[in-house]
Structure 1
Amino acid sequence: MPYLFLTLAACFWGGNYVVGHLLVSEADPVILSQLRWLVTAVLLMTLYFSQVKQQWAFMKKAKGIILFLSLCGQVLFPVTLYIGLQYTTALNAAIYMSATPSIVLLINALIFKEKIQGKNYIGVLLSTLGVIYLIFKGDLNFAKVISHLNKGDLWALGSAISWALYCAFLRLKPREVKGNAFVAISSVTGSLMMLPILIIYLFSHNFQITNVGNYASPLFISGLAYLVIFPSWLSYLLWNKGILTIGATRGEIFSHLIPLSGGFFGVLFLSEKLHSYHFLSGLLIISGIYFCSSARK
């Protein structure tokens, strides 16, 4: 079951890149992030308030790690992602997310002194090669690829680093704080953390919001509903369950499914072209997932 949870979570996040790419063409990324977590917080606190109340004592003891995880997962990750999606493609942004296993592996080895098995290294290597090949689009001219990187790519890389920190430090969350309550309180915390960022942003723009009518359009409302229900709620819930069951090193490899699902959704909904290099990179990524998931703890 943990592998199914991680697969579903990754696919929901893959959709996040496509929906986010559509929405930032009509809405500001900072306002979008605030609305996403505000609505999510209201929804989840309505559903799980009793669980949050029961586990409040454990949450207070773990307030430091909850604040840190909320900062990485609910604030930095979506804000940097949505800013990046203004300048780069949904597929590119999703691909950069697959750099996270290498970062998680490094954090686990250096900070948590985790012993890394040979199969984990092989799995990460294969998947990373698949990601690199996908980034290069089958063209191994390194200088050419680097020259085409823009600020959107850099913001997307920032979102990948934020996500890696979230996944690596998730192990510090007390087991007494269960999944539903944790996602609910993280949503509230993330929404509150976003407020000063939003205020600073609005102040820098003289508190003028452009294209106000776009926030009431059917596209924006339906897109926001997707972001709230799937990437913000179900993905975090399923991902946390999977990571806590099999560990961050083995579980994080499933983030490589994000660019695959994001690429598929991009082809389906954004009419992005599918090329031969997608198949080869997909084979490498899936092979990497196999090696990591078959490695024993």
Structure 2
Amino acid sequence: MPYLLLTLAACFWGGNYVVGRVLVTQADPMVISEGRWIITALLLLCLYHQQLCHDLLKIKKSIWPICLLAIFGQILFPLTLYIGLQYTSSLNASIYLSATPCMVLVMNKLLFNDTISKNNIIGVLFSTIGVIYLILQGNLANLSELSNINKGDLWAMASAMSWACYSAFLRLKDKSISGNAFVTVSALLGSAILLPIALVYFYFYPVTNLAHYATPNFLLGLLYIAIFASWLSYLFWNKGIVEIGATRGQIYTHIIPLSAGIFSIVFLHTQVAYFHLVSIVFIVIGIYFCSKK
């Protein structure tokens, strides 16, 4: 059962890339991000308010690390992703995400002085080559045009970096705080911190085409992100990790870019180019080396 829960969580997160790609054609990324976390926060608050009250003192003692995690995980990660999906494909964005395990290794070494083995170094090199190959679209001649790189790819890389920071800094939180309480307070903080930023943003860039936000397709997409990609994914993930442990469970993060790529090809009819396949091969090899003992 824990393996099924972890797989479902990763697939739901992969679907977030495809649904997000559709939604950004209809709505402002800021609306999607804020709407997502307000709905999620209200749902989780109704479900887990007792656990939140039980761990309230622990949460207050760890409020700054939790705020930092909320900034990276609940604000920067989805917001930069939705901005990037306006200009690049969900397949590209998911491939960038697949490099985050290697990013985390480097960050842990630089920030926390963790030991990096020879396999880890080889994995980082392969993964980096894969990302660079994707950026260059398989043509070294594109090096001279890097100044004209698709800004969507840059935002997608920023999103991947945000998730890597979230993963690296997760060790800072109090481990005795229950998973449900942590997810609930993270959603609350994410929506609360993002709200004033969104209000200032909307002051300078007023929301137009309000009719789009009332269409069934947009509301269903937003509900998918809130319920499946924000609530159930975290719920299933926490339960799976509790049963088999973080070390064994972390490997399931690699299903996220895989499922996102498959969903993108099937539902969005994204064209697969040879450089996509080559970059995936390099990144998978990197992940293999990083996952070895």
Give me the TM-score of the superposition, normalised by structure 1: 0.86
Superposed displacement of residue 275, structure 1:
3.9
Task: Out of 282-291 and 187-196, give the one that drifted further.
Answer: 282-291
Give the Cα separation in 2 of the matches to 1:143 and 1:285: 20
Unaligned stretches of 5+ residues in structure 1: none
Picking from 225, 230, 233, the partner of 2:231 is 233
Taking a change above 3 Å as real, the CA distance of residues 239 and 280 of structure 1, as seen in their structure-2 partners, is farther
CA distance in 1, matches of 2:13, 2:54: 30
Moved more, 85-94 or 138-147: 138-147
| 1:1-297 matches, cutoff 5 A | 7-143=7-143, 146=146, 148-205=148-205, 208-237=206-235, 242=241, 245-246=245-246, 251=250, 255-295=253-293
Whole-Å separation in 1 of the counterparts to 2:273 and 2:150 = 22
Describe the shift of the 1:137–1:102 C-alpha distance in structure 2 as closer, same or farther (beyond 3 A): same
Contact 1:38 1:188 in 2 (8 A): yes
Aligned equivalents of 1:31, 1:79: Cα separation in 2: 10
How many pairs align? 291
Query: How far does residue 116 in structure 1 lie from its aligned partner after superposition?
Result: 1.4
Q: Distance in 2 between matches of 1:176 and 1:22?
A: 38
The Cα of 1:129 is off from its aligned counterpart by: 3.5
Q: Which amino acid aligns with 2:193?
A: M
**Contact preservation (8 Å) 2:103, 2:124:** no
**Structure 2 residues not aligned, in runs of 5+:** none
Q: Is the 8 A contact 1:40 1:187 kept in 2?
A: yes
Output one character per residue of 1:8-64: Cα deviation in whole Å (capped at 9) or x when no partner.
444322211111110011111101111000000011111111111111111111001
**For the residues of structure 2 that align with 1:44 and 1:125, how far apart are their CA atoms?**
40
Would the aligned equivalents of 1:92 and 1:135 in 2 still touch at CA under 8 Å? no
Alpha-carbon distance between aligned partners in 2 of 1:282 and 1:96, rounded to the nearest angstrom: 10
Asked if structure 1 preserves the Cα contact closer than 8 Å seen for 2:102 and 2:286, the reply is no
The Cα offsets for residues 127-159 of structure 1, whole Å up to 9 and x where unpaired, read as 444444444444344416735522222222221
* Residue type at the aligned position of 1:178: S
Contact 2:102 2:290 in 1 (8 A): no
CA gap 1:151/1:129 in 2 versus in 1, 3 angstroms: closer
Q: For each residue in 1:234-269, what CA deviation from the matched residue of structure 2 results, as whole angstroms up to 9, or x when unmatched?
A: 334455664994459x93x76554333222111101
Question: Against the structure 1 CA distance between its residues 288 and 151, is the aligned structure 2 distance closer, same or farther, given a 3 Å change threshold?
Answer: closer
Distance 1:163 1:124 in 2: 16
Q: Percent identity?
A: 52
> C-alpha deviations, 1:176-217, integer Å up to 9, x for none?
112111111100110001111111011113xx4211111121
TM-superposed CA distance for 1:273, in Å, is 1.9
